[in-house]
Amino acid sequence: DAGVIQSPRHEVTEMGQEVTLRCKPISGHDYLFWYRQTMMRGLELLIYFNNNVPIDDSGMPEDRFSAKMPNASFSTLKIQPSEPRDSAVYFCASSFHGAPGTEAFFGQGTRLTVV
Amino acid sequence: EDQVTQSPEALRLQEGESSSLNCSYTVSGLRGLFWYRQDPGKGPEFLFTLYSAGEEKEKERLKATLTKKESFLHITAPKPEDSATYLCAVRHGSSNTGKLIFGQGTTLQVKP
């Protein structure tokens, strides 16, 4: 398996524009996580899905953020409208069964810069 | 509230100088403690999972241990290639919620 695949790797956009980040989890994994990483706050969990269903979105900072998982092999994180403070590295991760102790595998991340 | 705290924030070692990184946690119903390594510009890479107090795991120069309140990542005779940020995370919940919470990380620099 190629691992968790995220696209794009880098995104530069202007304030107010819509941004869509994409993730393909590892085949067979049933948990998918979206994280945001900044120097100040570290890795923050934004939302996670189990079997394509959102379980906990309490980490989503504002209504400008939304995430979907239309099927087991694809998820999106959308920011509309984007703001400079959204600049960060966004990671997607997936794991199997979410059973006790089952590790999550991370993608390479999308570095988002909002100017 | 569930919390994961790592110390120190940064650590500089000479090659061969052994040390330990700490991860303290407060969580209801621990269902796994994880150590990850993250290199600049990359996603975190899984190292170890520990399930219960007293458990230990080893990989090359790294050894992870777990108590009821904290975990240690011991680095024996480190090499420059061990330089990275080491992240600790916990999975918790009375039910199998799958939520994974990370600490802020310890950035390790090993000088030759």
Q: What is chain A written as a DSSP string?
A: ----EEE-SEEEE-TT--EEEEEEPPTT--EEEEEEEETTTEEEEEEEEETTEEEE-TT--STTEEEEEEETTEEEEEESS--GGG-EEEEEEEESTT-TTPPPEE---EEEEE-
Residues of A with CB under 8 A from a CB of B: 4, 31, 33, 35, 42-43, 45, 48, 50, 55-56, 91, 93, 95, 98-109
Which residues in chain A are closer than 8 Å to B102, comparing Cβ atoms? 35, 42-43, 45
- The average confidence (pLDDT) of chain A is 93
Amino acid B31: pLDDT: 81
**Cβ contact B25:B33 at 8 Å:** yes
Amino acid A96: pLDDT: 86
Q: B34-48 pLDDT, tens per residue?
A: 999 999 999 999 999
Q: B67-87 pLDDT, tens per residue?
A: 999 999 999 999 999 999 999
DSSP code of residue B88: E
Question: Which stretch of DSSP H or E encloses residue B64?
Answer: strand B62-66
Q: How far is A98 from chain B (nearest CA, A)?
A: 5
Q: Alpha-carbon distance A46 to A58, whole Å?
A: 7
Which residues in chain B are closer than 8 Å to A48, comparing Cβ atoms? 98-100
Range in A44-48, B15-19, B25-29 the model is least confident about: B25-29
A59 pLDDT above the threshold of 80: yes
Q: How far is A43 from chain B (nearest CA, A)?
A: 6
